[in-house]
Structure 1
Amino acid sequence: MATPVDAKLLKRTKFPPEFNQKVDMTKVNIEVMKKWIAKRISEILGNEDDVVIELCFNLLEGTRFPDIKSLQIQLTGFLDKDTSKFCKELWSLCLSGQSNPQGVPKELLEAKKLELIQEKVMENRSIQLAVMI
């Protein structure tokens, strides 16, 4: 429920064009998104703030088709100048996730693949060093 102040902000704020696309949260793997949200908000704030993280979860999960514009307005008081960038990243990931059969954004899948490759490389280096010693 938007307050009169929120309604004014919604009218005055310029939003990216992708915010006009709907996301069906039943097609998005919410657990994967929650991990990304918690990590990203913690990076922005410099610490883990459970209140802001839970607020974002609730705004996203509150309905099948969340309103990213309203979510951005409501998070602005917490994330300040980083809010629009965060919301744009979040929405892009949600859009990507809903088009993937597993509901996982391809960007996060690629990042996980890279992380696993790097772990394997480090593991191989450790084995090589152990053999040399």
Structure 2
Amino acid sequence: MATGVDAKLLKSTKFPPSFNQKVDMQKVNLQVMKKWIASRISDILGNDDDVVIELCYNLIESARNPDIKSLQIQLTGFLESQTPEFCKELWSLLLSAQTSPQGIPRELLEAKKMELIQEKIEAEKAAEEARRKRTDFGRFDRDRPPRGGDRGDSWRGVSFSIPVTI
């Protein structure tokens, strides 16, 4: 429900054309979107602000077809100048999610796929580095002179008694 001030802001604010499209929240995987919302708001604010995150959750869950324009107006006090960008990203993801069979935005699926590929590459690099270190360690071990070599260690284990006279 918009107050008089909110109604004026709704009329005077220029919104992207995509905000005129409706999103059916029943077709969206809400848990995935909640993770994205929490992460994105935390990035913007620099900390985990549960109040703002919960407000955003409530605004998108409050109706089957949430009003992104109203959401933007209500979040402006918290996210300030980054609110339009956040809302545009959110709406784009929600529009994508409702057309996906799993209800997950294609962009988030692609990002996750790239993250997994990057993790696999890093794991392979770490395994290769560990293999190389093991090989290098084995080489150094073979190059080391045997114990008791020419270091004067051949007397090890031999005991001497030296008589002391007073």
TM-score by length of 1: 0.99
Runs of 4+ residues over 6 Å off in structure 1: none
Once the two structures are TM-superposed, the CA of residue 6 in structure 1 deviates from its matched residue by 0.4
Structure 2 regions of 5+ residues with no counterpart?
Answer: 134-166
Once the two structures are TM-superposed, the CA of residue 98 in structure 1 deviates from its matched residue by 0.2
Instruction: Work out the percentage of aligned pairs sharing the same amino acid.
Output: 71
What does residue 73 of structure 1 align with?
73
What does residue 104 of structure 1 align with?
104
Output the CA distance in 1 between the equivalents of 2:132 and 2:17. Answer: 56
Structure 1 regions of 5+ residues with no counterpart?
Answer: none
Counterpart residue identity of residue 13, structure 2: T
What does residue 57 of structure 2 align with?
57
What does residue 121 of structure 2 align with?
121
Specify which structure has the higher proportion of helix.
1
Greater relative CO (CA pairs within 8 A, separation 6+): 1
The alignment status of 1:83 with 2:83, answered yes or no, reads yes
The size of the alignment, in residue pairs, is 133
What does residue 27 of structure 2 align with?
27
Larger Rg: 2
RMSD between aligned alpha carbons? 0.4
Output the CA distance in 2 between the equivalents of 1:130 and 1:78. Answer: 47
Q: Counterparts of 1:34-53 in structure 2 under 5 Å?
A: 34-53=34-53
3-state SS in 1 of match to 2:108: helix
TM-score by length of 2: 0.79
